[in-house]
Structure 1
Amino acid sequence: MIVAGLGFSSAATADSLRAAFTAAAALHPVSALATVADKEGHAALAEFAAETALPLHFIAPADLAGQRTLSCSPRSRASYGTGSVAEASALAAAGLGARLLSPRQISDDRLATCAIAIGGQT
């Protein structure tokens, strides 16, 4: 499974998410989206997920902590114990043995990030 992990601020729009996703997923056939569970109910996320028609997985914050990421955001590290919510969400959703295909991509407005991971057992 190839998963697009999303990280975003409360000010992010569906356009923010779309821009980060488009930059990250340009070369990969993504089969699911993932983000941290406390983002559930965010209007822009719901709009973007509906637009993509991909399944959306919510990852418990505890499952993000300790994920080895390529990027390191001090804010993400302080809030979730990981360097990147997008990267950690993608890894957690992709399953055992997952690996990142590239570091997170950031939307032009800097409100959203997206990273792609592939499951270890594809």
Structure 2
Amino acid sequence: MIVAGFGFRAGATEASLRAALEGAQLGAPPVTLLAAPEDKVAALAPLAESLGLPVVGIASDALATAETVTRSAMSMAARGTGSVCEAAALAAAGPGASLIAPRFIAPDRMATCAIAEGRAS
């Protein structure tokens, strides 16, 4: 399973989300699942629908326990994690997941995306 995790501001557009995904996905395998904090899933739904991919919401406690490589003070203050997108990708990919593309910031700085790979089940 290859998961694209997202973090984004309230005003992020589908174009912002797509730009973050495209930047993070360079050189990564095709994504099979999108993930975001539970309270942001509805905003990610249009991109998921246009890509034909499922989307999953990640609980706050799962975001806070994920080990991220990026350490953003803003993410720590808002969500208790160093990188919302990295934490969402890792949590959705499951136990033993690894980050294959760290946080990529969309050019408009409204969205971030990271890619994680889960162990085959």
Using the size of structure 1 for normalisation, the TM-score is 0.93
Does structure 1 retain, via aligned residues, the 8 Å contact 2:86–2:102? yes
The aligned length equals 120
Give the alignment's Cα RMSD to 1 decimal: 1.1
Does structure 2 retain, via aligned residues, the 8 Å contact 1:97–1:121? no
**Once structures 1 and 2 are overlaid, which stretch shifts more, 20-29 or 54-63?**
20-29
Q: Which residue of the partner structure matches residue 20 of structure 2? A: 20
Return the offset for 1:54: 0.6
Q: Which runs of 5+ in 2 are unaligned?
A: none
**Once structures 1 and 2 are overlaid, which stretch shifts more, 10-19 or 26-35?**
26-35
Q: Residue 15 of structure 1: SS of its match in structure 2? A: helix
Q: Which runs of 4+ in 1 moved over 3 A?
A: none
Does structure 2 retain, via aligned residues, the 8 Å contact 1:7–1:35? yes
1:95 and 2:85 matched: no
Q: Which runs of 5+ in 1 are unaligned?
A: none
Return the offset for 1:108: 0.3
Return the offset for 1:14: 0.3
| Percent of aligned pairs with the same amino acid | 52
1:47 and 2:40 matched: no
Deviations along 1:2-47, whole A, 9 cap, x unmatched?
Answer: 10001100010000000000011132211100000011322xx222
Deviations along 1:56-95, whole A, 9 cap, x unmatched?
Answer: 0100111111211111111211121110110000000000
Q: Residue 113 of structure 1: SS of its match in structure 2? A: strand
